[in-house]
Structure 1
Amino acid sequence: MYFAALLARTEDGWEASDTELDDVETLSDLMDLAREASVDEDTVLVFIEQEDAWFGVIRVDGEEDPRIYVSNASAAARSSYGEILLTDELLGREPGAEDEIAALEELVDLDDTEDDEPSVTIGSGRSAPAAESIDTIDPDDDPDAVPAGPIGEFGVLTDLGMSEKELLTLRNDALVEIADALGAAEVLETVR
């Protein structure tokens, strides 16, 4: 079960609205939604939470690039809405690298085995020579691996009243605590 809300900063404080993510397929769609809620291109925060498994805060300031924080990247990677937030840039990957590697692997056999030598398929779908022990495969070599734990911009809310340390220690009811630190607990509660 997901909960998603927008908090838009105005001259009079924060305005909250719940939001449906059914039509959101990309980060760009999410940014458009946030910018539509913006008052005079002021800060808009998008909160997404999946039943205490993970939460994400996306900050949009006018036309600037979004600033993103995800509390548990590996849990978010298993979620359709979490995948939207886990961009190549956020994960430290070269944009489009996955597509290029997949295309090359289709064209050329890149597993370093001879034609008669059997190979072993390992967890990520890559093959390794049979003589190589699976224990010696370094999981850090997997370009598709998503780190466990928090990822993104830890200081995304610092100037709004929540320090990096406070953000990193949040677990249950994280969005309520964030809203409380921002002085927006009451308005968030109206849409929750």
Structure 2
Amino acid sequence: MTSGRVTVYFAALLARTEDGWEASDTELDDVETLTDLADLAREAAVDDDTVVAFIEQEDAWFGVVRVDGEDDPRVFLSNAAAAARSSYGAMLTDELLGREEDDAADDLDSLDLDGTEDGEPESHNDVEDDDPLEAVNDTDGPPHGPLGDAGLLADLGIGEKELLALDGDALGTIADALGCTEVLEAVR
């Protein structure tokens, strides 16, 4: 039985060009892995330049994936525990935690296609600790807070401390720092 609540995602790709940024809203229907998302970003790239993918689930969490040419994608999640409870967030969280696809499939069995869980959420983190890294090591569950590479946008105008402090319209703040607010709003 589902809760009847529809999960709303926003996803966009921002491709850096000589003339600034180009944005497109992104359909995630065929994205099942980080590799799929990176391939989608590379297709949007101009001359193998930087592409930044934004994924946001309402006010629960946001993720940023940066792809530079053929380099491995760099990923940041604002709240890994919240992200892990949704299909696209779980994909990114599992990648960051180094979980195997079979392990992730067991967790994804409890997710509906809209990214919500059946019934009550199970607690993956019974540790009452302020250190999310220790909580991850104790339970192999995602931390209640940021996870990933918080410095992935530092050379583009938003440093690690700024990224970690974001709340509210985080993607708008990031777009302001990148100088592409109008471009992002056009696809939002």
The C-alpha deviation readout for 1:125-182, integer Å capped at 9, x for no partner, is: xxxxxxxxxxxxx975323x11110000010100000011110111111101100000
- Measured after TM superposition, the shift of residue 97 of structure 1 is 9.7
Q: Where in structure 2 are the equivalents of 1:23-38 lying within 5 Å?
A: 23-38=30-45
Distance 1:84 1:141 in 2: 21
Distance in 2 (alpha carbons) for counterparts of 1:182 and 1:30 = 21
CA distance in 2, matches of 1:141, 1:187: 42
Equivalent residue for 1:8? 15
- Contact 2:80/2:143 (<8 A) preserved: yes
**Equivalent pair of 2:94/2:100 in contact (CA under 8 Å):** no
TM-superposed CA distance for 1:21, in Å, is: 0.6
Write out the 4+ residue segments of structure 1 that deviate beyond 4 Å after TM superposition.
none
SS of aligned partner of 1:87 = helix
- Where in structure 2 are the equivalents of 1:24-103 lying within 5 Å? 24-88=31-95, 90-91=96-97, 93=98, 96=100
Q: Residue 25 of structure 2 aligns to which amino acid in structure 1?
A: D
TM-score between both structures, scaled by the size of structure 2: 0.76
Alignment root-mean-square deviation, CA: 2.2
Structure 2 counterpart of 1:163? 159
TM-score (norm 1): 0.75
Structure number with bigger Rg = 1
Structure 2 unpaired stretches of 5+: 1-7, 107-122, 125-133
* 2:22 match: secondary structure: strand
1:149 aligns with 2:145: yes
Report the alpha carbon displacement of residue 47 of structure 1 after superposing the two structures with TM. Answer: 0.1
2:26 corresponds to which residue?
19
- How far the C-alpha of 1:98 sits from its partner, in A, is 7.0
Alpha-carbon distance change, 178 to 97 in structure 1, aligned in 2, over 3 angstroms: closer
Aligned partners of 2:18, 2:55: CA distance in 1, in Å?
24
- Report the counterpart of residue 182 of structure 1 in structure 2: 178
Q: Identity of counterpart residues, as a percentage?
A: 68
Q: Structure 1 CA distance, aligned partners of 2:17 and 2:94?
A: 29
Where 2:51 maps in the other structure, the secondary structure is strand
